[in-house]
Amino acid sequence: MGSNYARRTVVGNWIKKILLVLVVAFVLFYLFTRPEAAAEAVRTFLGAFESIGRFFTSLAG
């Protein structure tokens, strides 16, 4: 039973590594093929944190 668990853990780790490599490759591909869209996505993402910060500041003030 322990051997089966170890095998599943190894397979799971490989799948996680492959998925991570695919995600990084996609991000790099998107960044180099559409830099303006990538920059806008980052601005939007960071803008969400700014909005959350303003929300908590207004609650505290």
- State pLDDT tens for residues 1-38: 556 777 778 888 999 999 999 999 998 898 899 989 88
Q: What is the distance between the alpha carbons of residues 50 and 58, in angstroms, rounded to a whole number? A: 12
Q: What is the pLDDT of residue 18?
A: 96
pLDDT value, residue 1: 52
CA-to-CA dists, residue 20 to 13, 15, 16, 57, angstroms: 11, 9, 6, 36
Amino acid 25: pLDDT:
96
pLDDT at position 2, please?
58
pLDDT, greater one: 54 or 61: 54
Q: How far apart are CA 18 and CA 40, in angstroms?
A: 27
Is 90 exceeded by the pLDDT of residue 60? Answer: no
Structure-block tokens of residue 2: 């322990």
Domain residue spans in the chain? Answer: 2-60
